[in-house]
Amino acid sequence: MTKMTTIAENYNNIRAEIVELLKTARSTAARNVNSIMTAVYWEIGRRIVRVEQGGERRAEYGEQLIEQLAADLTQRFGRGFGRANLWQMRAFYRAWPEGQILQTSSGESISPLVSNNKGGDSSTVSVLASHFALPWSAYVRLLSVKSPEARTFYETEALPAGRGPLHRAGT
């Protein structure tokens, strides 16, 4: 009977360890996906702003650009790319511009992470994702805070202990 008890205990122990391992992996994967999508939304906002600034009639062109992108991206990728979301992505980039996220805590600029190519280099996206410690929904909520100083304060308060605003590289 002792041998059967030992086998049952061993099985219960290994099963519990595997369950914890899988829960940790799933949680980590979800956080990584969220960071990557947040970085992609920032990059979409950056590209929209860059194209708008190249246009002569910015406001009118921006409206048309957002309308067309919303229709095309929604058709291709489904939910999540409507007008309101694209305006939020644009606002996200404007509230957290490159100079702010591509800088170390000592104030030194780091090399640009975002390429000007048309594709989406996965290593670039991964590096950019490391600069966003909060989920997309938290940044959307922070967009309603008009003062940059207040927004930084609330962002810092929302971060896990030991992480600075935007989890800047080099900090």
pLDDT tens-digit series, residues 31-47: 889 999 999 999 999 99
Residue-number span of the structural domain to which 60 is assigned: 2-167
Q: Assess contact for 67 and 48: CB atoms under 8 A.
A: no
Q: Is the pLDDT of residue 165 over 70?
A: no
Nearest to 106 by CA among 47, 149, 17, 170: 170
pTM of the complete model = 0.75
Please report, for residues 22, 23, 26, 120, the alpha-carbon distance to residue 18 in angstroms, rounded to integers and kept in the order given.
6, 9, 12, 35
Q: Considering its fold, how many domains does the chain have in total? A: 1
Contacts with 115 (C-beta within 8 Å, 6 or more apart), sequence order: 121, 124
Give the burial class of 152: count Cβ atoms within 10 A of its Cβ; 0-12 exposed, 13-18 middle, 19 or more buried: middle
